[in-house]
Structure 1
Amino acid sequence: MGSAAGNSDREAVDGLRRRHPLARGIELLTLMTDSDHDVHGVRELAGRLEVSPSTAHRLIADLEKLGLVSRTANGSYRLGLEYLRLAWTTTERYPIQEVSRDTLQELTEQSGESSFFAVFGEQRLKMMFALVVESSHPLRYTLPLRQQLPLHAGASGLAILAFLPAQIQASVAHGRLHPATDRTLVRSESLLDRLAIIRSDGYAITHGERIEGAIAIASPVFGPSGTVVGSAGISLPEARFNAAHTSSLAGLVKQSARQITDYLTGARDPRTGIARK
């Protein structure tokens, strides 16, 4: 009796899933979330959902309009910025969030400055600050959380842009580069040269390029597939910045970014903070 009832319940759920686009859309997001891969093809998702490719494509198109998934340059799909925004907003106690916060807290304690974790939104080629740990200094800059910001203005975005594929860098560099301040790079050639330096150094440093009077240092954070997914760094007032400390501050930032990368890739246990062998 129990087995028959269980089978009946599962069949009812399966029937609902096949009939209701919302249920199938949620299932599709769940498959992408639980997958070991960052990007997915339409046929792959169709097979896993047990629907036709045309049905899967319609579901993905609807989710893309909402920003829940985004299309990559080669036509595959990945989770979108809006999905990530919702995840970060509603999962304050999720281990990755907790450990990332601990990493930023440590970075703030070691540097004495506000620290941040920014994430990349592939759909709109923008970024947003997902997490900020404020310094104890009375004079500090408050970073805007969960607002979509351009990649070319500020260390947080430049550290991401420098490690994106060359065609995306070119697309951004040759697009409309609006100045956030008088110091923002808006010449394509200068921006591309700057990105090459950032790739070589492993971090970006900016002086008032997004916020007047603010210094920022950021390093890229990578996901499970090795693609850049965001950046980690610090922000401080220009009046408090000592150029002689650039190397040590950059070292702290790069170490923190690597640590968050380890959590995201599974190289480090997010619950214990211990590196996995």
Structure 2
Amino acid sequence: MRSVRTALRVLEAVSELQPVGLTELTRQLGLPKTTVHRGLTSLAEDGWLEGDPDDSTRWIVGMKAFIVGSTVSNRGSLRERALPFMHDLSSDVGETIHLMIRDGDQVVLIERVDSPHPVRAIAPLGARAPLHASSNGKAILARLPSDEITHYVQSGLSAVTARTVTRASDMYDELQLTRKRGYAVADEELQEGVVSIAAPILDSNSRPIGSVSISGPKPRMPKSVRPDYGRKVRSTAEQIGGSLPAVFTR
């Protein structure tokens, strides 16, 4: 139990001080450096902590902690902050709205607002998708540091459908366009017959903490409506990001 309590103390300290280095944590906690380092390593191995993308010697809260926090109903949760804006967007466009966050090389669905149409895009809460094969994932991927983008793309892009982008050069072009216009499009790249348009939710440091998307059957998502839907989902993402408390800034 002592090791568990130590790990929890380390996790709490990182969440308060992030990004934070080993020396500062050791001083803050009053524990031996080896003990703190062991706690950091264990938490990182299980996804609770991760290295700061801008400085690998410093630590930030990882996606597992974010997922757990986002699935618990509380005033500060991303889900609760996002839902009113998601309902507004769904009422406006009449399609399903998905809220997703990154977990490693995937995105995870943590909330959705269903379309009123009997034929609609359907995905269960907790559903996962590769970053490169979904609009939600590409919206997040496009806002990551360039070295992370390169590492992900060069690791290989597996096909989910016949339309998934699998060539590195094509993906780089796609991500550049996504970053320029502020939203990503997935045209049957994750699910046949479904088109989705997503925008990243950014913290105060312009880092992606999630993404929100409009998803619907391809006949209701023709190319003619996509620029308008892109602007609308981008505006929704900006509203969600602007409503988040400081705890979500990293």
Structure 1 length as normaliser, TM-score? 0.82
Task: Name the CA shift for 1:103/1:210 in 2 (closer, same or farther; >3 Å).
Answer: same
1:261 Cα deviation (Å)? 0.9
Q: Distance in 2 between matches of 1:250 and 1:58?
A: 45
Task: Please tell me whether the aligned partners of residues 224 and 265 of structure 1 are also in contact (alpha carbons under 8 angstroms).
Answer: no
1:119 Cα deviation (Å)? 1.0
Q: Name the SS for the 1:244 alignment partner.
A: coil
In the alignment, what sits opposite 2:75?
94
In the alignment, what sits opposite 2:32?
52
Larger deviation: 246-255 or 78-87? 78-87
In the alignment, what sits opposite 1:151?
131
1:239 Cα deviation (Å)? 1.8
In the alignment, what sits opposite 1:228?
208
Task: Name the CA shift for 1:94/1:156 in 2 (closer, same or farther; >3 Å).
Answer: same
Q: Which runs of 5+ in 1 are unaligned?
A: 1-18, 267-277
Task: Please tell me whether the aligned partners of residues 183 and 199 of structure 2 are also in contact (alpha carbons under 8 angstroms).
Answer: yes
Q: 1:80 aligns with which of 51, 62, 72?
A: 62
Deviations 1:172-216 (A, max 9, x none): 111121111000011011100111111111111121001111110
Deviations 1:110-151 (A, max 9, x none): 111111111123xx2322112111111111122243344311
What is the number of residues matched between the two proteins?
243
Larger deviation: 254-263 or 217-226? 217-226
Q: How does 1:100-139 map to 2 (within 5 A)?
A: 100-121=82-103, 124-139=104-119
Q: Distance in 1 between matches of 2:174 and 2:212?
A: 18
Task: Please tell me whether the aligned partners of residues 126 and 150 of structure 1 are also in contact (alpha carbons under 8 angstroms).
Answer: yes
Q: Distance in 1 between matches of 2:204 and 2:7?
A: 24
Q: Distance in 2 between matches of 1:102 and 1:221?
A: 15
Q: Distance in 1 between matches of 2:193 and 2:210?
A: 24
More strand, by proportion: 2
1:43 Cα deviation (Å)? 1.9
Q: 1:206 aligns with which of 153, 172, 186?
A: 186
Larger Rg: 1
In the alignment, what sits opposite 1:3?
none
Asked if 1:68 is matched to 2:36, the reply is no
Task: Name the CA shift for 1:196/1:265 in 2 (closer, same or farther; >3 Å).
Answer: farther
1:231 Cα deviation (Å)? 1.0
Q: 2:20 aligns with which of 31, 34, 40?
A: 40
Structure 2 length as normaliser, TM-score? 0.90
In the alignment, what sits opposite 1:275?
none
1:242 Cα deviation (Å)? 3.2
Q: Name the SS for the 1:200 alignment partner.
A: helix
Asked if 1:241 is matched to 2:200, the reply is no
Task: Name the CA shift for 1:165/1:92 in 2 (closer, same or farther; >3 Å).
Answer: same
Partner AA of 1:66 in structure 2: D
Task: Please tell me whether the aligned partners of residues 151 and 157 of structure 1 are also in contact (alpha carbons under 8 angstroms).
Answer: yes
Partner AA of 2:209 in structure 1: V
Q: How does 1:155-194 map to 2 (within 5 A)?
A: 155-194=135-174
Q: Distance in 2 between matches of 1:95 and 1:78?
A: 18
Q: Distance in 1 between matches of 2:232 and 2:158?
A: 31
Task: Name the CA shift for 1:193/1:249 in 2 (closer, same or farther; >3 Å).
Answer: same
- RMSD across aligned positions (CA): 1.8
Task: Please tell me whether the aligned partners of residues 156 and 217 of structure 1 are also in contact (alpha carbons under 8 angstroms).
Answer: yes
